Amino acid sequence: MEQRTYNQYCATARTLDIVGERWTLLLIRELMTGPRRFGDLQNSLRGLGTGLLSARLKHLEREGLARKITLPPPARTPAYALTDAGEELAPAVLALATWGMKWAMGERREGEVFHPGWAVLGLRTCFVAEAAAGLRVVYEFRVGDEVFYADIDDGTIETAHGPAQRPDLVIETDDATFLEVFTRGRGLADAIKNGEVAVTGDREALGKLRVLFKWPEQGHRKPAS
C-alpha cells in the first residue's frame, strides 16, 4: 500500500506523514509503557484487525520508530519496543492526552472500551509535580485484572505495568469504580467506606493522592449560545 503524504516541506506535515494514519499514535501510546508482545497489542487495541496491526508495526519499524526485540527470561518471546526516535514522541502523545482530558473526554459513550492499564500514562498526565516536591512514595494499583504502579520521587514520576517492588500503598478496585474516582471526581473516601476500594499500607500516602493527581477541569469546545 502506498503511503499517503501531505507533500509539504513542513515539520508538522512530515511528522503527520509518519504518524498520522489511524491507529499509529495509539500504537505509540501502547509502546510508551514498555515492550509489548503482538498479542498484548491486539488485546489493548480492540477493533484493530491482525492484518492492519501487522502493517502498522511494519510501518513503525520501517520509519525507525519501533523495533523487534526478545523479552528477557522467563518470557523469551518476541515483542516490540520504541526506538529513541519513538520515545521522543512521548511528550507529544501526553500533550494530546492532556488536551483530550479537558476538551474531548466528557461522558463515556455506549460501546467504548476502557482498559485500566491506560492509566499508566494517565497518571503521568494528571501528575502535579509541585505537590510532590521532596516526596518519596510508591503507589500500586490493582484494577480488575491489571496491575500497575506510580513511583514518585521529589517531583518526578515513573509509571509502569506490573507490581511495584516495595509499594507504600496498594489500591485495589474494579474498572467502573476506578473510572468514577480517578476521572469523574467521586470521593475516594466514600468508595473506601462502601467497600468498593480496598487500600493497604501507609495512610499518609493515601491522603496525598488527592493533591498529587488532578484531572483537568472539563472545558467546552463550543461557545455557549
**How many domains, the chain?**
2
Of 35, 48, 45, give the one whose Cα is nearest residue 86. Answer: 35
Do residues 208 and 137 share a domain? yes
Q: What is the CATH number of the domain that holds 134?
A: 3.30.1050.10
Whether residue 36 is contained in a domain is answered as: yes
Q: Are 31 and 66 in contact (CB under 8 A)?
A: yes
Q: What is the CATH number of the domain that holds 45?
A: 1.10.10.10
Q: Are 34 and 161 in contact (CB under 8 A)?
A: yes
> What's the pLDDT tens digit per position in 88-120?
999 999 999 999 999 998 888 888 888 888 889
Whether residue 164 is contained in a domain is answered as: yes
Domain that holds residue 80: 11-88
Whether residue 195 is contained in a domain is answered as: yes
Do residues 21 and 78 share a domain? yes
Do residues 17 and 79 share a domain? yes
Do residues 120 and 208 share a domain? yes
Q: Are 24 and 60 in contact (CB under 8 A)?
A: yes
pTM attached to this predicted model: 0.88
> What's the pLDDT tens digit per position in 24-72?
999 999 999 899 999 999 999 988 999 999 999 999 999 999 999 999 8
Do residues 68 and 121 share a domain? no
Whether residue 104 is contained in a domain is answered as: no
